[in-house]
C-alpha cells in the first residue's frame, strides 16, 4: 500500500468521516496500540487509524473507499488470535466490528440464531442457554473473542471431539467482499446444492477475502449433567491408550491434556493441584453423566487404566463448581504463561498418528531447546497439540523468535512427514506464513491466490497475511 504524508492522511480520514461518525474514526495512541495488535505481541502495531462502522452499509462504503484510495484494511474482532492475522503493523486501517454486536434473530424451530459479527462468543452462548439450548464452540477467550473472528479463523476449542469446529455450526453468512459487494450466503439452509458454497471460502479466510458482518449459527441441546475427570499419566503413549478406551465407552465432549510444567504455571495463579502426586502429564476429560450408571462405568474404566499402568491417580468432579475448577487447570494455561511471551506452535495430525508425531517432536525439542522451558498442552482428542516455548527473561524478543523459528523448520518437516498441518486452529496470519509450504504445495497456493484475486482484486483486504 502507498505511504501517505500527514496532510494526505488527514484528507483520507476526513473522507471516511464523511460516512462514519468522527467519534468512530480514531487515531489516538491508546486506540492504535489496543486495536493494532493481537495476542502474539510479536509485532509493533502501527495502524493508520481505527474505524468502527455501525452498519453493513458503512462497511460497504469503507471497503469501496479503500479500493478507490488503495487503503489496506485489517478486519478486527476480539483480537485474541495467536497468528498475527489481526495485526496492523504497516499503516493499515483497522476495521473493528465491535459496535455491530447484536443478536438479530432467534428461530426455536430451526434451533438457530442470527447475530452481527461483533457479538462476543460468551454473549451468544449465554443467549442460547437462556433458550434452553447450547452453542458448543468453546474456548478460554470466550469472554472477549467475537463471532466474526471465530468464523474468520474457523475456531476450534475444547469441545471439538464431539461438536466439531466453527465451520460445522455456520449455516449462513453475510459478507462484504474486497470489492465492496454484499453477499448473503446460504441463508441458514441445511440443504442447498445450487452451485458453489461460497460460505466456506470465508470461513478460515482470516479477513483476506472480505469482512464477515452477520452469521446464522446452529444451536443444539445442552450437555446432560457433564462430569469432569482429571487423570495423572506417566507418558504420552498412555494418554492415547486412555483416549482409545474412554472414547469407546463414554460420551466424551472433551479430551484435553497438559504437562506438569504447564500445570505449575497455573498453580502460581492460585489454583490447587487436582491430587497430591505429580505426574509428567495430565488428561482432562468431560463426559455426559445423567445417572449413576455412567459414574459407575467411569470409575470401572479408571480402575482398568490403573491396572494397566496407564495412570497413577485421578479425580472426578462431584459438583458443577468442582467441574469448573478442574477445567480451569487446562483453560487458564495460556493466560498464566502470557507474561513469558511464549513462542507458540499449534499443530495437528490425524488422531491415529499423534503418538508417533509426539515421540519425534519431543526428541527434537529436548535436543534443540535445552535452555528453554517447553510446555505441552492441547486438544489431543482431535489431534491438535499446542507447543509453547517460554522466553527467558534476559533474552531479547527478536533473538528468541529467531531461535524458535529455526527449530520450527525441523518441527514442520516432521509434521509434513506425518501429513499434518502447521496450524490447527490459530490460523496462518503473519507468524506461520513462512511455513505454509509445509501444509500447502505450490499448486494449491496458486488456487488460493486466484480466489483472493477474485474477491479482492486490489489486494486491500488484510494484505500480507497467509501469503504475500
Could you tell me the residue ranges of all domains in the chain?
6-98, 103-218, 226-334, 341-449
Question: What's the rounded Cα separation, in Å, for the pair 344 and 71?
Answer: 31
Residue 55 has φ and ψ, to the nearest 5°, of -140, 165
Residues 6+ apart with CB under 8 A from 20: 51, 52, 53, 54, 58, 61, 62
Per-residue CA distances from 409 to 85, 412, 419 (Å) = 20, 5, 15
**Separation in Å, CA 149 to CA 2, 38, 95, 199, 369:** 27, 12, 12, 15, 33
Q: 49 near 27, Cβ under 8 Å?
A: yes
Label residue 307 exposed, middle or buried (CB < 10 Å: 0-12, 13-18, 19+): exposed
**Among all chains, which residue has been given the C-alpha cell 531479547?**
396
- Which of 205-214, 332-341, 361-370, 407-416 holds the top average pLDDT? 205-214
Question: If pLDDT is split at 50, 70 and 90, which confidence band does 52 have?
Answer: very high
Residue 421 C-alpha cell reads as 498441518
Check if 6-98 and 341-449 are the same fold.
no
Cα–chain-centroid distance for residue 325? 22
Dist. CA 98–CA 299, nearest whole Å: 46
Give mean pLDDT, residues 303-332: 96
Among the listed ranges 117-131, 195-209, 212-226, 375-389, which one has the minimum average pLDDT value? Answer: 375-389
Strand-pair partners of 73: 93, 461
- Answer whether 462's CB lies under 8 Å from 75's CB: yes
- What's the pLDDT at 236? 86
Mean pLDDT along residues 124-147: 96
Q: Is the pTM of this model over 0.85?
A: yes
Helices (H), 27-102: 29-35, 56-69
In the prediction, which pLDDT does 423 show?
A: 95
Side-chain-side CA neighbours of 157 within 13 Å: the count stands at 26
What is the pLDDT, as a whole number, of residue 177? 98
Identify how many contiguous H helices and E strands the chain contains and give both numbers. Answer: 15, 16
CATH code reported for the domain at 103-218:
3.30.465.10
The domain defined by 341-449 folds into Alpha-Beta Plaits (3.30.70)
Beta partners for residue 43, in sequence order: none
Model confidence at 2: pLDDT above 70: no
Say which range, 100-104, 278-282, 351-355, has the weakest mean pLDDT: 351-355
Contacts of 446 (CB under 8 A, 6+ apart): none
- Average of pLDDT values for 113-119? 98
Are residues 55 and 168 in contact, defined by beta-carbon separation less than 8 angstroms? no
pLDDT at 1: 54
Is the CA virtual torsion 209, 213, 216, 220 positive or negative?
A: positive
The CATH class of the 6-98 domain is alpha beta
- Of 112, 216, 227, 126, which is closest to residue 174 (Cα–Cα)? 216
Report, as an integer, the average pLDDT of 299-325. Answer: 95
CATH number of 226-334: 3.30.70.2190
Cα–Cα distance measured from residue 162 to residue 151, given in angstroms and rounded to the nearest whole number: 19
Residue 418 sits at φ, ψ, to 5 deg, of: -95, 5
Closest alpha carbon to 161 in 266, 244, 259: 244
pLDDT tier for residue 42 given thresholds of 50, 70 and 90: confident
Amino acid at each position: 500500500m502507498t505511504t501517505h504524508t500527514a496532510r494526505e492522511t488527514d484528507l483520507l480520514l476526513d473522507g471516511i468521516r464523511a460516512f462514519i461518525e468522527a467519534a468512530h474514526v480514531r487515531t489516538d495512541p491508546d486506540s492504535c496500540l489496543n486495536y493494532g495488535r493481537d495476542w502474539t505481541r510479536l509485532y509493533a502495531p502501527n495502524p493508520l487509524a481505527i474505524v468502527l462502522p455501525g452498519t453493513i452499509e458503512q462497511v460497504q462504503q469503507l471497503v469501496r473507499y479503500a479500493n478507490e484510495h488503495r487503503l489496506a484494511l485489517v478486519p478486527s474482532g476480539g483480537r485474541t488470535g495467536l497468528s498475527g492475522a489481526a495485526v496492523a503493523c504497516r499503516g493499515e486501517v483497522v476495521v473493528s466490528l465491535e459496535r455491530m454486536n447484536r443478536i438479530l434473530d432467534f428461530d426455536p424451530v430451526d434451533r438457530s440464531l442470527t447475530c452481527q459479527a461483533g457479538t462476543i462468543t460468551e454473549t451468544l452462548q449465554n443467549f442460547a442457554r437462556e433458550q434452553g439450548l447450547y452453542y458448543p464452540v468453546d474456548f478460554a477467550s470466550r469472554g472477549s473473542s467475537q463471532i466474526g473472528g471465530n468464523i474468520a479463523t474457523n475456531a476450534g476449542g475444547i469441545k471439538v471431539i464431539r461438536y466439531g469446529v466453527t465451520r460445522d455450526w455456520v449455516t449462513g453468512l453475510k459478507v462484504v467482499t474486497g470489492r465492496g459487494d454484499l453477499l448473503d450466503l446460504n441463508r441458514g439452509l441445511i440443504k442447498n446444492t445450487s452451485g458453489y458454497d461460497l460460505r466456506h471460502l470465508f470461513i478460515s479466510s482470516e479477513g483476506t477475502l472480505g469482512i464477515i458482518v452477520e452469521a446464522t449459527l446452529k444451536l443444539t441441546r445442552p450437555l446432560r449433567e457433564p462430569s469432569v475427570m482429571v487423570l495423572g499419566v506417566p507418558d504420552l503413549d498412555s494418554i492415547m491408550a486412555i483416549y482409545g478406551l474412554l472414547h469407546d465407552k463414554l460420551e466424551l465432549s472433551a479430551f484435553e491434556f497438559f504437562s506438569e510444567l504447564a500445570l505449575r504455571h497455573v498453580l502460581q495463579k492460585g489454583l490447587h493441584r487436582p491430587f497430591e502426586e505429580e505426574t509428567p502429564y495430565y488428561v482432562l476429560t468431560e463426559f455426559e453423566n445423567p445417572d449413576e450408571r455412567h459414574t459407575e462405568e467411569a470409575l470401572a474404566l479408571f480402575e482398568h487404566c490403573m491396572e494397566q499402568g496407564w495412570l497413577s491417580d485421578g479425580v472426578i468432579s462431584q459438583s458443577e463448581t468442582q467441574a469448573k475448577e478442574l477445567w480451569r487447570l487446562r483453560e487458564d494455561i495460556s493466560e498464566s504463561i502470557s507474561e513469558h511471551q511464549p513462542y507458540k506452535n499449534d499443530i495437528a495430525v490425524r488422531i491415529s498418528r499423534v503418538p508417533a508425531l509426539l515421540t519425534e517432536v519431543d526428541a527434537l525439542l529436548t535436543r534443540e531447546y535445552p535452555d528453554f522451558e517447553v510446555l505441552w498442552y492441547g486438544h489431543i482428542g482431535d489431534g491438535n497439540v499446542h507447543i509453547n516455548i517460554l522466553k527467558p527473561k534476559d533474552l531479547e524478543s527478536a533473538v528468541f523468535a529467531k531461535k524458535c523459528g529455526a527449530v520450527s523448520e525441523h518441527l514442520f518437516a516432521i509434521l509434513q512427514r506425518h501429513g499434518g498441518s502447521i496450524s490447527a486452529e490459530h490460523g496462518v496470519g503473519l507468524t506461520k506464513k513462512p511455513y505454509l509450504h509445509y501444509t500447502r504445495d505450490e499448486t494449491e497456493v496458486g488456487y488460493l491466490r486466484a480466489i483472493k484475486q477474485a474477491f479482492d482484486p486490489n489486494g486491500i483486504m488484510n494484505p500480507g497475511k497467509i501469503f504475500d
